[in-house]
Structure formats: structure tokens, C-alpha cells
Chain A
């Protein structure tokens, strides 16, 4: 199973933004390896959440661990069958551990998108 997590510049801490995170950490639970991919939507003018969601879906991820997620991106994940989990801790590895132990809950509330507002 492949798990994607938006991460900050240091590539270890979970980024609070999904669409505009600088990187995604992609973890493979079978090979127990992780790799860091640049988020192509980080500096998008608009539709960043959708482009980031497209990128995550294209990596073949089965699950996403994130702090929050916009409604449009959530719709993409729903269509793709990618499950979204709510991040519990600051660091990506702690969240992967919690996920393996079945401690993460699915994210069920999505925001309308910030679209120029902060």
C-alpha cells in the first residue's frame, strides 16, 4: 500500500496545507521505503488543490494523510478511491506509525477552499 503525506521544506514535518505543500512524501508499506516528490501545484495560480490531488492520484497512492483538505480535492480522491486520513502528529513518520497501528481516523470534513483568502 502506498501512502502520501504533504510535507514542509524540511521534508519531515507534515505541511498544514495540502494543495500548496512544497513536497509529498510517498511511503510504500510493502518495501518500507519512502521517497520525496516535488508538488507541481505548490506555486499554481489557481486550482492548486486539484493539481495536487491529480499528482497524488498519479503516484498510485491508496491513502493520503493530511491536516486538512479542500472539497474539490476530496472529490477527486473520492472518485479515485483514495482514502483520506487526519494527521495526528507533527512528523510524517509518527503518522505513518500511527496509521500502521490503526490509530488514524478518516478525515470527513472538508473546507470550501481558501481561493485567495488565508
Chain B
């Protein structure tokens, strides 16, 4: 079973839920797709880490073959190519590696060379396989690194937890693409609820089954509870705000490995998820 953990707002507790969920399972893979700031490794502290580069193809132009027809420049939807002094010039950060310029060139003057945009790290934390995507700072698109994480990390048997980036944009869509179930972490505040509705809309659009974890729940926040009831979304877990849990997290510790009640809670969440995903 592959569970994507997401939330609109950052700081809601995606990594907290993902890491603890993976740690509560006996046989799990934890995939960090929040490649701009992958934090799961700070808790899981994986060992025997193997690192591999993630590259994207970047066009290179053969000045001998290029006749200056500009077909590539006109074709480029992202405006990454400029024709100056009788040759095309590529702007790597703007290029989306679609390969269109190479296809359209009538002179076959375009070749593609790999350009590194990040890395994927694979390691072990107890019985958990930890796969972390790390995007190079300044890169425009996180998608190639997220794709590489999913390709390397998918766990055929047992549980795969995908820790998604915040928001509801392209990188989130890519991260949930292979999920059987989406776990939406919500914060019971007006801001948290607003962003929660945006992710909810996204996962519905993608026809994913989903359930909710309300984190830092001190008392009921009615608008959120009502919304979940109206949209038929099960609230699988409410985690009350607790100074103890916050202290474990601040110390880089995994709550379910520190605290028996947290272990029980997350095992219950796991059971709830299995039941929901099987529906």
C-alpha cells in the first residue's frame, strides 16, 4: 500500500506523520518527495547511504549543422532558446528538457547532454528503507528528482509512505501520482483549513481516496469537522497538541520509538488506513 501524506500549508506535520507512520510499520519504505527541504532524514538518520545523481537532458547545438532556421527557438514553449549571432543559445534553468528542439530540428543539429539537478539518497533506518530526494538550490523544477525518488523507492510489498511537498502545485501532483491513498494532514486553524481545502480539491480531481489527520488539535475546529463530514472524508486520527511530542520532534527523535502511547496511536492509524484503502 502506498500512502501519500500531504497538506496545503507547510509546518502542519506531514513529516511528523510520515516518519511516525513508517516507524510504526514493521515493513516500510519512507520516500521524501519534499525535495526542496527533505527533513525526514533528520529523524530517521539512515545508514549505509548510497547517493546517485539525477540528471535532465539539456540541448547542445552543432554550429556546423545549424542553418539558422530558428525552428527550435520558435518551437520552445518555455522560451528557453534565443537566437544570437547566428546560433541558438540555451538557458538551462528555463529549459524543461522536453526534447522538442531535437525533434523539430530538420538538420539534426541538436544533441542532448545530461545536466545534474539533484541527487537521490537511499539508506536504511532500522527496518525502514529511506529514500530522500535532494534538489540542487536554484533549480526551477522539482519534478525530475521526485520522479527519481518514486522510481527508486516504491516498495512492492508492505507500506510505502510518500512525504509530499507543501502546497497543491505540480510537485505535489507528481508526488501523489502513484499513491493508493492520500492522507491529508490538517491544522485546525483558518489558514490551515483554507489550504486544506485546496489539497482536498486536488486529490479529488485526481480521483484519490483520502482521509484526514488533524494535528495540533486543541479542541474542535468546527469548520474543518463540518467540511470533512459533508465531503465524506474520514478523520482517521486527531493528535492533540502536546509539549512532549513537540520536544521529541525538536530533539530529532521519532515519537513512536520514544513513547508507548504514540506507538499505539500510530499503529491504530495504520490499521485505519489499511481498512480505508481496502474499501
**Interface residues in chain A, defined as those with a beta carbon under 8 Å from any beta carbon in chain B:** 41, 44-48, 50-51, 53-54, 57, 72, 75-76, 79-81, 115
Name, among B80, B94, B140, the residue most crowded by chain A CB atoms within 10 Å (CB to CB): B94
Task: Knowing that A47-B91, A54-B73, A57-B84 touch, tell me 5 more A-B residue pairs with CB under 8 angstroms.
Answer: A47-B80, A51-B79, A54-B84, A72-B91, A80-B85
Please tell me the size bucket of the interface on B. Answer: 10 to 19
B94 near A46 with CB under 8 A, answer: yes
Q: Interface SS of chain B: helix, strand, loop or mixed?
A: loop
Q: B89 at interface (Cβ–Cβ under 8 A)?
A: yes
Name, among B83, B84, B140, the residue most crowded by chain A CB atoms within 10 Å (CB to CB): B84
A41 near B79 with CB under 8 A, answer: yes
* Distance of A104 from chain B, by nearest CB (Å): 23
* Interchain residue pairs with CB less than 8 A apart (24): A46-B78, A46-B94, A47-B76, A47-B78, A47-B79, A47-B91, A48-B79, A50-B80, A50-B91, A50-B94, A51-B79, A54-B73, A54-B82, A54-B83, A54-B84, A57-B82, A57-B84, A75-B89, A76-B89, A79-B84, A79-B85, A79-B89, A80-B85, A81-B85
- The contact string, 1 if C-beta is below 8 Å from chain A, for chain B 47-89, is 0000000000000000000000000010011111011110001
- The contact string, 1 if C-beta is below 8 Å from chain A, for chain B 130-154, is 0000000000100000000000000
Within 8 A of A (CB), among B82-107: 82-85, 89, 91, 94
Closest to A46 in B: B78
* Distance of A70 from chain B, by nearest CB (Å): 11
Q: Which residues of the other chain, A, contact B94 by a CB distance below 8 angstroms?
A: 46-47, 50, 72
A53 near B78 with CB under 8 A, answer: no
Q: Interface SS of chain A: helix, strand, loop or mixed?
A: helix
> With A and B bound together, what is the CA distance between A44 and B80 in angstroms?
12
B79 near A44 with CB under 8 A, answer: yes
Q: Which residues of the other chain, A, contact B73 by a CB distance below 8 angstroms?
A: 54
Top 8 A-B pairs, shortest CB-CB distance? A47-B79, A79-B84, A51-B79, A80-B84, A54-B82, A50-B79, A76-B82, A47-B94
* Distance of A40 from chain B, by nearest CB (Å): 10
> With A and B bound together, what is the CA distance between A53 and B79 in angstroms?
11
> With A and B bound together, what is the CA distance between A72 and B90 in angstroms?
10
Q: Which residues of the other chain, B, contact A46 by a CB distance below 8 angstroms?
A: 78-79, 94
Closest to B140 in A: A115
> With A and B bound together, what is the CA distance between A75 and B94 in angstroms?
13
> With A and B bound together, what is the CA distance between A72 and B83 in angstroms?
13
Closest to B87 in A: A79
> With A and B bound together, what is the CA distance between A53 and B84 in angstroms?
10
* Distance of A115 from chain B, by nearest CB (Å): 8
- The contact string, 1 if C-beta is below 8 Å from chain A, for chain B 105-133, is 00000000000000000000000000000
Q: Which residues of the other chain, B, contact A57 by a CB distance below 8 angstroms?
A: 82, 84
Closest to B79 in A: A47
Closest to B91 in A: A72
Closest to B81 in A: A50
* Distance of A50 from chain B, by nearest CB (Å): 5
Closest to B138 in A: A112
Q: Which residues of the other chain, B, contact A72 by a CB distance below 8 angstroms?
A: 91, 94
* Distance of A58 from chain B, by nearest CB (Å): 8
Q: Which residues of the other chain, A, contact B77 by a CB distance below 8 angstroms?
A: 45
Q: Which residues of the other chain, A, contact B78 by a CB distance below 8 angstroms?
A: 46-47
